[in-house]
Structure 1
């Protein structure tokens, strides 16, 4: 269906076209594939038709002042805390129902199982990382606890920094020593393992693959962001790292809190306006998990 618009020649840098893939208007509105929009060849920006109307009519060569849509930053550790609360409440209900008279005493003298307490510990680690990222100010924009389309899984943190986008999974292993073990047989290839407190935790690296793929797919929705670099990182909270050198296994950086903050702050070509556009784009495609405490930017 065609839309009756003023002559686009009034602004020679603008062209009305049908989007081949989803995109985002500079005002923050999501644009679906097949929808008509205005493409500004000079600035490589996409505008929804309501925003572009004054420009197409020749009223102005620059877009009218628009209040950008807020970015929902999400809550660090939100999903993990909710899962802990669900398990804790379920156990309490089960014990009180089974022992109407002694349930309160049993609960006072016992603790949640480790499988439940692990969720609370994980939430604490994610909150610590969220606080560290917030201390970096305007250098980065951190999105927390993001939903992934067609999946029940979540991404702990997506950080937009000057040098690119960082997909970060936070893990809390108190006082655990982080190390790399390399071994091989006489004819076998070298095997590299991530050791945490003496245990092989290499599988944690494998879980970063689908997270990076999800963020890459979200960025690829826009030709402007398709080539933005993505770095995967595991951030171990309250752990002990070697004094020298950095750890990188299978293209995943392994850092502590300080190292992660330094990594995402690396200088690069993405200035503050571009970082905001990237954050708005990713927040629309990988929305925050529902939470009453979610912050807006």
Structure 2
């Protein structure tokens, strides 16, 4: 920052203090304040929306990765015992159910491996088909919209600085008029200060009027701009979960028919309790 810039910053800081303490009359534009408040609300909400949309994608990827981790653990769980160990464990259970337990173990082992393979496919295909259009139609779109805030905020900052300059010059002119000096240069100084005040007012009003005109336009554009992205978001969600359902639904027909029937009739809990009782009866 140049020396002139530093000097202006110091003067503006002093003007702000005097405004807060009531020593300087502040220029107020209610219409501008209203439009700036609406703009700030839009900025806060759209930046929050961008953050939440990024989080949604990350959470979706975490969910599918967690599914893979669970399926991998299940696949290992059902495949840890070799045939000899399975046979030895089975002899400790009632001999009537030995063949049934061993056959179900083979079925579940095969199904869990297939489930793991299915989730790997789901992660590689469904997430890939979701992430690319999600970035293109949603994340990139809102990021582009939010990028304009930097330029607009700079214009608002510049407008506020010009307002401080104008208020400071008004105060300076007011003091000069209220306490005239018997000096040969007084009239000349009065003309110069009056001209500087008019110039400061012109710069302030130019930026103030421009923002009063442009900020409402930006706020009104939000619906038309975000509508296509919202529609794409809903459609991509529907496609992802429909694709996931189709992939996982293919496993339903391969589930043990008895297990499905027992689940429907409410007997599955009883079967689980029976298995737990047999485990407690093991002499280990």
Question: TM-score band, normalised by the shorter chain?
Answer: under 0.3
Structure exhibiting the larger radius of gyration computed from Cα positions:
2
Q: By percentage of residues, which structure has more helix? A: 2
Bigger relative contact order, structure 1 or 2 (CA pairs below 8 A, ≥6 apart): 2
TM-score by length of 2: 0.25
TM-score by length of 1: 0.24
Q: By percentage of residues, which structure has more strand? A: 1
